[in-house]
Amino acid sequence: MFCAVFQPDKSLKKIPVKFKKLQEDKNLLLPAYTSEGSSGMDIRAYVNEPVVLRPGETKLIPAGLAVSIPFGYEAQIRPRSGLALRHGIGLVNSPGTIDSDYRGEIGLIMINWGDKSFVIKSGDRVAQMIISRVYQADILLVGDLDETTRGDGGFGHTGIG
């Protein structure tokens, strides 16, 4: 009996994404993919001193970097699942978006949904960045929309379960 082995295509399209360090500091690390199959690059905190994030508290955590994303793409900033599971740490605007024409510092709006204070130190991996293609809508004003079976049903219209 012949059994074919699936060989995944490991050729990924790469696009140039430029980063600029906002401080001359050898400890300020660029985002990095931590495994061959990672979708997101880890983003690290860049703070002068440890930041305590108390339960229910939101703080803007700087990354110490600016980025140049090619036109037609965006960076999505997402929480790290391990921080969310173990400590209740997330991002308020998840996913956050960095547009292709933004050149300011990357800032992470972090929140502690957990029940214990969490300390963020410089160099800690606190979020991840995904590069995604963007499509802009060609906005059309019409009198009627295409009909569907669902129609205007929303917010739980299919029931629980």
Closest by CA to 118, choosing from 148, 89, 151, is: 89
Digit-coded pLDDT (tens) for 26-52: 999 999 999 988 999 999 999 999 999
The CATH label, of 1.10.10.10, 2.70.40.10, 2.40.100.10, 3.30.1240.10, for the domain at 18-133 is 2.70.40.10
Closest by CA to 118, choosing from 78, 59, 32, is: 59
Question: For the chain, what are the domain ranges?
Answer: 18-133
CA dist list (Å): 139 to 87, 134, 136, 142: 42, 15, 9, 10
What is the value of pTM for the model shown? 0.85
CA–CA gap between residue 92 and residue 121 (Å, rounded): 19
Give a three-class secondary structure readout of 72-99.
CEEEEEEECHHHHHHHCEEECCCCEEEC
Those residues with Cβ within 8 angstroms of residue 125's Cβ, 6 or more apart along the chain or in another chain: 42, 43, 44, 80
**What string of pLDDT tens digits covers the 161 residues of the chain?**
666 776 677 778 899 999 999 999 999 999 999 998 899 999 999 999 999 999 999 999 999 999 999 999 999 999 999 999 999 999 999 999 999 999 999 999 999 999 999 999 999 999 999 999 999 999 999 999 999 988 888 887 777 77
What's the gap between Cα 107 and its chain centre? Answer: 11
DSSP-assigned beta bridge partners for residue 89: 112
Digit-coded pLDDT (tens) for 72-92: 999 999 999 999 999 999 999
DSSP-assigned beta bridge partners for residue 73: 133
Given a contact cutoff of 8 angstroms between Cβ atoms, the answer to whether 41 and 67 are in contact is no
Q: Residue 26 CB: number of other CB atoms within 10 A?
A: 6
